[in-house]
Amino acid sequence: MGASLRGVVELNLLFLLAGIAILWGMRGFRSLLDLLDLLGLALALGLGSVSVLATLVLVAGGGLPAAVIVALALAVLVAGSGVALAARRGVPRRLGRLPISPGTCFALAAALGALVVLVGLFRVARVAPLGGGDSWQFWVPKAKLIYFTGGIGDPLFTTLPGPNYPLLVPALFAMDFRFMGSADAAELAVQNWFLYAAFVLAAAPVLRRLVPAWLAWLFVAATAVIPQLDARVLNAQADWTLDILFALTALLGIGWLRTGERWQLWSFGILLSAVFATLREGELLAACLCLGIAAASRRSRRRVWPRLFGVGAAAYALNVPWRIWWTSRGLPSDLPGGGFHLHQLLTHRSLIWPSLMDVLQPLFSATMWLVFVPTALVASAACLTLAGPARDTAVVYLTTFVLAVAGLTWVGWSDPGGLVGSLNPLPRVVGSLVLLSTVLAPLLIDPLLRRSKPLTRSAETATRSEPIPSAPSI
């Protein structure tokens, strides 16, 4: 194993340990198999939490030497373990039982499909050239500057394109460089591979708590064959990082809404802060998601909304220091073009339609994304006629989807110069909505297969008064 690959593996092991401690503190583990089941989520949570903390170190004027990275991971590990010990959560000693069900063979087949694609992607990640224009235009140069100059204070940092873009991806890459022992940009593809592997291994167990394993794995494996994922997931850019973190965040948010398990709410908060810290569009998508969950939970708003918006505000608060940093240096606004200036927007209102088409056409392009968006839309429309959690999930999905499409249309509309060729971010940003559609599809399809009770007046009244259940203790 080369030094660069070993460095990436070691860093991700560190993330994994931090994430295991987070999950141990938040929910505990029933058995060793339960722990094994949640390793993907642990990696995503560890990566998200340590990387967000790393951005705070950078904003505070610090650098990311190995000691700081280890200290950040240790801080998360100690915090998680401390909560676990305080809550008297034991260390898992039992092996546990494999969840065998009638659809297990089908689930295994789908998981095998995902594994085949993951192995293939890993092989490509080891040999492919550095991909993506933005990677060498600014994401990797920013990481190199952090690695070589010890922070974000170098004047070149603010003269690179996207000087106000959030710091999570450069911080993550800089940590990779530190563990590699060199700025080996090509090997960053392996870091992105780890993130996608974490997504696959995290989404499946979260979904499996709500739908049969075969249905969960069918759609999680389906994410692996999305053509645009195949083409770009290994690029050292922030697009797929955002897509993956956003889809997992949405899944955990809905998981919390449906089960009331507090660990899912905290996990939702951790990944939401990472979404905010990844790309400017993350702020838009995070707001749409929170509004979607709020819309679906209006019946139990007294219980849900304070927690939802409290966690959302806390997640955003972690990103306020970065906003203060770049605004205090007089960098240009992170709003696209005309931003919120109504007069300026109205002067080029002819762009509304083209920018809406710029969002919708790639969203429904089968050659780019296959057919998961139409599938989820059809299933969610059918779920609106049902009662209970199926309808709630459909409301979350549709509200998030419609608001995000409107928001992305505004991005294109307000930036007349932005809708040109490769500069146009819209065909890339819709990836978050495609991945959202793919991972939520099982939750929307399962009630249709079960022939859930149709929505009636009495059913609606019954679900309206149904409170969110309290978190089951483990």
Partner 1 sequence: MAVGVACVAVTAGLLVYEVPREAHSSDGAVRFYAYIKGSEGRVLTTGDALDIPFLLQVAALEKIPRGSDYALVVPATEQLAARDGIGQITYETVAPWFRFLLLPVEPTSPARARYVICWGCDMAAWSRRVVWVWREHSRMGIGRVRG
Residue 102 touches partner 1, criterion: CB under 8 A: no
Residue 365 touches partner 1, criterion: CB under 8 A: no
**Tokens standing for residue 468:** 């969110």
The smaller minimum CB distance to partner 1, of residues 3 and 314, is found at 3
The smaller minimum CB distance to partner 1, of residues 355 and 438, is found at 438
The smaller minimum CB distance to partner 1, of residues 175 and 304, is found at 175
Contact region with partner 1 (CB under 8 A), list: 110-118, 257-265, 289-297, 337-345: 110-118
The residue from 21, 59, 64, 121 that contacts partner 1 (CB under 8 A) is: 121
Residue 108 touches partner 1, criterion: CB under 8 A: no
Residue 244 touches partner 1, criterion: CB under 8 A: no
Nearest C-alpha neighbor of 23 from the set 80, 76, 95, 69:
80
CB of 379 to partner 1, least distance (A): 5
Residues 6+ apart with CB under 8 A from 222: 370, 372, 438
Determine the longest span between alpha carbons in the chain, in angstroms.
67
The CA distance from 13 to 6, in Å, is 10
Residues in the chain: 474
**Tokens standing for residue 375:** 């599938």
The residue from 60, 105, 116, 406 that contacts partner 1 (CB under 8 A) is: 116
CB of 202 to partner 1, least distance (A): 19
- Rounded to 5, what percent of the chain is helix, strand, coil? 75, 0, 25
| DSSP assignment string, 405-457 | HHHHHHHHHT-TTTSSGGG--HHHHTHHHHHHHHHHHHHHHHHHHTTPPBP-H
Contact region with partner 1 (CB under 8 A), list: 127-135, 304-312, 345-353, 429-437: 127-135
The CA distance from 465 to 42, in Å, is 34
The residue from 375, 427, 455, 459 that contacts partner 1 (CB under 8 A) is: 375
Contact region with partner 1 (CB under 8 A), list: 83-91, 166-174, 215-223, 306-314: 215-223
The smaller minimum CB distance to partner 1, of residues 37 and 187, is found at 187
**Tokens standing for residue 427:** 């065909």
The CA distance from 256 to 261, in Å, is 5
The CA distance from 422 to 333, in Å, is 21
Draw the binding track, 397-436, toward partner 1 (x: CB under 8 A; -: no contact). ----------------------------------------
Q: Which residues bind partner 1 (CB under 8 A)?
A: 2, 4, 110, 113, 116-117, 119-121, 123-124, 127-131, 133, 136-137, 140-141, 144-145, 148-149, 156, 161, 183-187, 215, 218-219, 221-222, 224-225, 230, 370-372, 375, 378-379, 382, 441, 445-449, 451
